């Protein structure tokens, strides 16, 4: 069941990251989910490195780091996807 939660969290984080980043990201939904999952993993790693991975109550800092990771991954991955697909980057 963990894979289902990973997909759901990846979808939510990826869609929010796409909404935060200005401009149009020409990436498909499946890639948005993958970027969101990678962003969540990156955020969890950073939370572990700075010692806030497990706190009492809701881990708001960890969730914000996951979102920041998703924003970074989508921001870097979208132009890469466009170059691989031969598309032009929207300004």
* Residues 36, 9 contacting (CB under 8 angstroms): yes
* Residues 39, 6 contacting (CB under 8 angstroms): no
C-alpha 8/C-alpha 57 separation (Å) is 21
pLDDT at 68: 95
Chunked mean pLDDT (size 10), the chain, 91 residues: 84 93 90 93 91 80 92 93 74 50
Q: Which residue has the tokens 């990973």?
A: 6
* Residues 41, 69 contacting (CB under 8 angstroms): yes
pLDDT at 52: 83
pLDDT at 54: 77
pLDDT at 16: 94
Q: pTM for the whole thing?
A: 0.83
């Amino acid at each position: 069941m963990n894979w289902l939660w990973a997909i759901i969290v990846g979808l939510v984080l990826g869609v929010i990251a796409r909404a935060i980043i200005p401009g149009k990201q020409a990436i498909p939904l499946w890639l948005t989910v993958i970027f969101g999952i990678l962003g969540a993993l990156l955020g969890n790693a950073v939370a572990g490195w700075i010692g806030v991975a497990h706190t009492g109550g809701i881990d708001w800092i960890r969730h914000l780091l996951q979102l920041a990771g998703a924003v970074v991954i989508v921001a870097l991955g979208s132009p890469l996807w466009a170059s691989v697909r031969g598309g032009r980057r929207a300004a």
